[in-house]
Amino acid sequence: MGYAALSYVLLYLNRFAECRKAIQDAFDRKLDDEFLHQVSYELAFLAGDERGMAEQVAWSEAKESNDFRLLQSSTAGYFGHLREAHALRQQAIESAKLAGSQEMVTDWQIRAALLDAAFGKVPGAEQTASPALAARLKTLNQNAEVNGALVLALSGDTAKAESFLEDLRGRFKQDSLVQAVVLPTVQAQIELDRGDPERSIELLQTAAPYELTDKSFEGCMYPAYVRGQAYLAAKQPPRAAAEFQKILDHRGLVRNCETGPLARLGIARAFALQGDKPKARAGYQDFLNLWKDADPDIPILKRAKAEYAKL
């Protein structure tokens, strides 16, 4: 576990060569652990090494690992293969149901809904999240409740989102990351929905020192993403681009989160807002090339294609 912990730290710091060495040192000592294989998969993903990813998936198949199904699901989502992402996550959910692990079932259902909400599929997000969110606060763990609040905020259901926030605020008074990262991020998204980007930016000031963590929103850097969206809405494109660039600069932390491709689109929109058409076109092409095989019915993809056509 020491080697696994070290490899994750090095991964999050973008120190990929040292990360590979830490994993190899463990293997050389005849030590093995699923976490080491998960990091190996993520390193292969970051390097665009499909063969390396496939090797780790093959290793996992004998273990029937739900964690690897979730990794594959996130990778599918990263490239806009939303149906494949949901199918893989559903396999993990069914396995968890058979094992009687309702907490994992709920957690993974809400995470699937977050992917839909981030990509603009609000009806899909609501449908996916409804069974899990119906359990409400009594059975949701902290991670599920945090993601659930963000799903509701991204879906425009501000009343329910604020209800979740009120519960989080009361239940986790001493939890620094809930108070400084989760609450302002979700509230900032709510204020963005209400048309007040300046308030969103103000709220997110408290999250800035802590947003490089994998303990809130699973390392997806949603504080920076929401701040970038707020700067776009506030007509401050250079600052918006800087926030989205943060996400791209911390690849080892963000890994295959949906905010990775969305940050590329955000940068394209920032250049378009700035009136820099050549850079805007290049930015849109970057996103559209990444999503060249994406499911065609994803709302954010449709909007991106329409925006690019106008350039």
Report pLDDT digits (tens) over 194-218: 999 999 999 999 999 999 999 889 9
Predicted confidence at residue 250, as pLDDT, reads: 98
0.85 surpassed by pTM = yes
What average pLDDT is seen over the chain? 93
Q: Per the domain annotation, does 46 fall within a domain?
A: yes
At a CB cut-off of 8 Å and minimum separation 6, what does 268 contact? 280, 282, 283, 284, 286, 287, 304, 307, 308
Instruction: Quote the crossing angle between the two packed helices 142-154 and 158-171, to the nearest 10°.
Output: 150
302 in the same domain as 186:
yes
- Number of compact structural domains in the chain: 3
Last residue of a domain, one of 116, 142, 173: 173
Do 234 and 269 belong together in one domain?
yes
Q: Do 220 and 310 fall into the same domain?
A: yes
Question: DSSP characters for 48-92?
Answer: T-HHHHHHHHHHHHTTT-HHHHHHHHHHHHHTT-HHHHHHHHHHH
Please say which residue of 173, 197, 227 terminates a domain. 173
Verify that 141 and 48 share a domain, yes or no.
Answer: no
Q: Tell me phi and psi for residue 49, to 5 degrees.
A: -95, 90
Task: Indicate whether 225 belongs to any domain.
Answer: yes
Whether residue 51 is found in the same domain as residue 130: no
Q: Tokens standing for 140? A: 């949701």
Residue 86 lies in a domain: no
Check which CATH number belongs to the domain holding 238 and give it: 1.25.40.10
- Domain-embedded: residue 85: no
Q: 261 and 187, same structural domain?
A: yes
Quickly state the pLDDT bin for 103 (edges 50, 70, 90).
Answer: confident
202 and 222 share a domain? yes
Distance CA 309, CA 299 (A): 15
Domain boundary among 44, 78, 112: 78
Q: Is 156 left (phi over 0), alpha (psi -120 to 50) or beta?
A: left
Are residues 139 and 164 part of one domain? yes
Confirm if 223 and 207 have CB atoms less than 8 A apart. Answer: yes
The pLDDT of residue 140 is: 72
Is 261 in the same domain as 157?
A: no
Is 90 inside a domain boundary? no
CB atoms within 10 A of CB 54: 12
pLDDT digits (tens, 9 = 90+) for 106-149: 889 999 999 999 999 887 677 766 666 665 545 678 888 899 99
Name the residue range of residue 123's domain: 99-173
- 9 in a structural domain: yes
Task: Based on the fold, state whether residues 103 and 213 are members of the same structural domain.
Answer: no
Tell whether 87 is covered by a domain: no
Residues 108 and 131 in one domain: yes
Q: Report pLDDT digits (tens) over 17-27.
A: 999 999 999 99
115 and 159 inside one domain: yes
